[in-house]
Amino acid sequence: MKVLVTGGAGYIGSTTASALEDAGHTPIILDSLIRGRREYAVRYPFYEGDIADRELLGRIFREHPDIGATLHFAALIVVPESVAHPYLYYHENVVKSLELFRALDELGCERIIFSSSASIYGSNTGSDFKVSEDTPHAPDSPYARTKHMIEMALEDMSRALHFRSIALRYFNPIGADPAMRTGPYDEAPTHVLDILADVASGRIPIFRITGVDWPTRDGSGIRDYLHVWDLARAHVLAVERFDAAFDAFGGDFIPINLGSGRGVTVRELVAAFETVWGKPIAKEEAPPRDGDVAGAYASADRAAKLLGWKTELPLTQTIADALRWVHEVRPRMLGY
């Protein structure tokens, strides 16, 4: 199937484009390159432009009338930036997604899969930190609120218009494509594993375990890390099983958590990292940063039931792939 991939020059969109291709599908990339990497996009038919550009969307669907689904990754994603620039985030993420959805409806696209985020649950995680799709939302940053708002609009528009939609709520994707075609590209990384890799190579002097008094099993925060390749595979399954998922679930909109279903604490992640790296890294304990939460992990039962998906790659492989990407492949491919 041809699949429109907005944000396909970015970290997760480019990994998913590779997974789509490996499964015999054809990704068509739409990305403005406001972030992301041109190298990641040009592997496929690539349209450089904005998701809210109706004329461009019209051209894409004229040139590819057989597009069967849209994966909507394009967004701004940096939480502190969203706090400093809320208008930018509501405009880029919410307003432009509404324009995209309206255009996709007019262009006859019947299947939309939206990149949502576990951050919409905020700190609403109960005492066991496990969240299901029915856990009430408590988004606690402008970024998270854009995801929450887009989901609400998408649900209403799916009911009223011609498309149906799935919101995939990602937990904590990390790592790089195991075949090393793409990976995280940020020179100043904010993802924990990229930071650990930079500490290991000496680019960053020390790793801070921020928050060690949370009510978790070892006091550090708890997250639900999953290999970005497992996440990418979930999108392929969401495309392939889209209609069957609605046959089983009903309605016009399905939110689905994507996580391993197991929590990993920050201390456990650091220990796994040191095992793969082969020696201890420089680390220290520090108080939580403003806005930090104890964390959460997914109830992933719905993804198993509707998509036949669960995570497969162990944390150690995720770490090994991330290290190979950051230390060997990315410097060759991107020059840093």
Ligand X SMILES: NC(=O)c1ccc[n+]([C@@H]2O[C@H](COP(=O)([O-])OP(=O)(O)OC[C@H]3O[C@@H](n4cnc5c(N)ncnc54)[C@H](O)[C@@H]3O)[C@@H](O)[C@H]2O)c1
- Which residue, chain included where needed, has tokens 């402008």? 142
Nearest Cα to 225, choosing from 272, 269, 275? 269
Rg of the chain taking only CA atoms, in angstroms: 19
Sheet with 164-170: strands ordered across = 46-48, 26-31, 2-6, 67-72, 111-117, 164-170, 253-258
CA distance 11 to 301: 26
- Both tokens of residue 116? 């949502």
- Say how many residues touch ligand X, by CB under 6 A: 26
Residues 96-125 that bind ligand X (CB under 6 A): 96, 115, 117
Point out the catalytic residue in the list 11, 47, 121, 143: 143
Strand-pairing partners, residue 207, are 283
| Residue 216 sits in the site that holds ligand X (CB under 6 A) | no
CA distance 253 to 230: 23
Query: Cβ contacts of residue 284 below 8 Å, gap of 6+?
Result: 206, 207, 208, 209
Binding mask 6-35 for ligand X (x = CB under 6 A): xx-xxxxx-----------------xxxxx
Cβ at position 39, least distance to ligand X in Å: 11
Instruction: Give the residue with the Cβ less far from ligand X, 151 or 268.
Output: 151
Consecutive H or E run containing 257: strand 253-258
> What does residue 292 show for φ and ψ, rounded to 5 degrees?
-65, 150
Binding mask 137-176 for ligand X (x = CB under 6 A): ---------------------------------x--x---
Q: Where are the alpha helices (DSSP H) in the chain?
A: 11-22, 38-41, 54-63, 79-84, 86-89, 96-106, 142-160, 192-201, 228-240, 242-249, 266-277, 301-307, 315-324, 330-334
Instruction: Identify the three-state secondary structure at position 299.
Output: coil
Cβ at position 191, least distance to ligand X in Å: 7
Instruction: Give the residue with the Cβ less far from ligand X, 219 or 262.
Output: 262
Instruction: Give the residue with the Cβ less far from ligand X, 179 or 282.
Output: 179
Q: Binding segment for ligand X among 3-11, 20-28, 270-278, 325-333 (CB under 6 A)?
A: 3-11
Q: Are strands 46-48 and 67-72 parallel, antiparallel or unpaired?
A: unpaired
Q: Of 51, 104, 149, 154, which lies in the binding site for ligand X, with binding defined by CB under 6 A?
A: 51
Residue closest to ligand X when measured from CB atoms: 10
Cβ at position 154, least distance to ligand X in Å: 13
Instruction: Give the residue with the Cβ less far from ligand X, 231 or 323.
Output: 231
Instruction: Give the residue with the Cβ less far from ligand X, 32 or 257.
Output: 32
| Residue 77 sits in the site that holds ligand X (CB under 6 A) | yes
Cβ at position 75, least distance to ligand X in Å: 3
CA distance 226 to 173: 5
Q: Of 4, 29, 92, 226, which lies in the binding site for ligand X, with binding defined by CB under 6 A?
A: 92
Q: Of 61, 73, 89, 246, which lies in the binding site for ligand X, with binding defined by CB under 6 A?
A: 73
Instruction: Give the residue with the Cβ less far from ligand X, 32 or 165.
Output: 32
| Residue 50 sits in the site that holds ligand X (CB under 6 A) | yes
Q: Of 17, 28, 75, 266, which lies in the binding site for ligand X, with binding defined by CB under 6 A?
A: 75
Q: Can 143 be counted among the known catalytic residues?
A: yes
Just list the catalytic residues.
Answer: 143
Give the footprint of ligand X on this chain (CB under 6 A): 6-7, 9-13, 31-36, 50-51, 73-77, 92, 96, 115, 117, 170, 173
